[in-house]
Structure 1
Amino acid sequence: MFSMRIISLAVVLLGSLAVNAAPMPAVKANHVHPGSVFVAKPVHFDPPHPGHSASTGARNHPVIALGHPDHDGWVPVAAVSHNHPAHMGETHEAHHYDGHTHADGHGSFSAGSHIAVQKPTHVHIDDLHHVSADSNLPARLHPTDTNNLVNAVHQSSGNPISTNPRIVTPPPTTPPWRKGN
């Protein structure tokens, strides 16, 4: 028979595989806040960027939400990459916008990453994905870092950032038959 140690080790190993194989939950509208970090494929950017067709732009890149989704589910985002194409315009080093986040121990962007501040884009909420826990990316920027990024995008692009209202999940209601008489 098998020893208790081998059985315990097998249970732990299978448990960790099951957790790692579990899919990330879908991004919902109430998950998106200014400063939230997600990953998305450049092919899903709107307006589409030159050179990103169905056959290119298929690799996920970090994007930072600049505002809340609109009523159609479009989220204004700033793209993060090591090698932005020229059509993305002005970029800033990402470390300028994750200092407070990193200091709080919530991850950071890798060295050499740049954020496209001149050409923010939109990604539909269905095409956003949560960052994985082992990526070292922050799930959300510190509020100071978020404000600095939103201001930089506004100044560089000359366009105000979307001020869509926050989508709130309605509180649970008590069914009429459970209410007191």
Structure 2
Amino acid sequence: MYSIRLISLAVVLFGSLVANAAVAPHHVNPGSVFVAKPLHFDPPHPGHSVSSGQRNHPVIALSHPDHDGWVPVVAVSHNHPAHMGETHAASHYDKHTYAAGHGEFSPGSRIAVGAPTHVHVSNLNPINIESGMPHTLHHHDTHNLKEAVYHATGSGHHYDNDPHPVAPPPWRQPQNWQ
């Protein structure tokens, strides 16, 4: 028989692997909520160095990954630096989600609608189940968020990547990938 210690260790190790698993590309949809390190934002936001960009922050996907695996996202935080541009209270974008019983952002959270960025799907992680945050926004909330980003950036970009298979990151690509 296996000892209780060995079984407990196996359960803890398996649990940590599952909790830290990266997100699969087909799980990324507009309105999906994940966590990512600012260090992995592309383009990088000013002031996020190797030491300051290591803490996970919630991000909301604006679209599916592009063909290279990059997902357009907006960051959620309580204290966005000035370089993040226009921010809105997160409560404006979780009303329908909360009404449907799918969680809400904590009071005081803000979304940086003026500074969308991209994160590779391999650097997105699931949110903690016990956080109370939504895993995905209601489609009305997602639409309102995308419209706010469109108006705040003035870029004319609606972030509408079609769902499709994505390339693995460069360090995981087989030699014959094209």
TM range (shorter): 0.7 to 0.9
Q: Offset at 1:20? A: 4.7
Q: How far apart in 2 are the matches of 1:67 and 1:142?
A: 14
Aligned to 1:23: 18
Aligned to 2:86: 90
Q: How far apart in 1 are the matches of 2:102 and 2:12?
A: 25
Q: How does 1:26-41 map to 2 (within 5 A)?
A: 26-41=22-37
AA at the equivalent of 2:159: S
Aligned to 1:154: 150
AA at the equivalent of 2:141: D
Q: Within the alignment, does 1:116 sit opposite 2:116 as a pair?
A: no
Q: Within the alignment, does 1:66 sit opposite 2:62 as a pair?
A: yes
Matched residue count: 159
The alignment's TM-score, normalised by the length of structure 1, stands at 0.81
AA at the equivalent of 2:160: T
Q: How far apart in 1 are the matches of 2:143 and 2:116?
A: 15
Q: Offset at 1:161? A: 2.5
Q: Offset at 1:23? A: 2.0
Q: How far apart in 1 are the matches of 2:132 and 2:15?
A: 16
Q: Pick the aligned partner of 2:96 from 100, 104, 128.
A: 100
Unaligned runs of 5+ in 1: 1-9, 170-181
Unaligned runs of 5+ in 2: 167-178
Higher Rg of the two aligned structures: 1
Which runs of structure 1 show a deviation greater than 6 angstroms over 4 or more consecutive aligned residues? none
Q: Offset at 1:39? A: 0.2
Q: Within the alignment, does 1:134 sit opposite 2:130 as a pair?
A: yes
Q: Offset at 1:167? A: 2.1
The alignment's TM-score, normalised by the length of structure 2, stands at 0.82
Aligned to 2:172: none
Q: Pick the aligned partner of 2:162 from 154, 162, 165.
A: 165
On the 8 A contact 2:61/2:72 being kept in 1, the answer is: yes
Q: Give the SS at the match of 1:70.
A: coil
On the 8 A contact 2:67/2:165 being kept in 1, the answer is: no
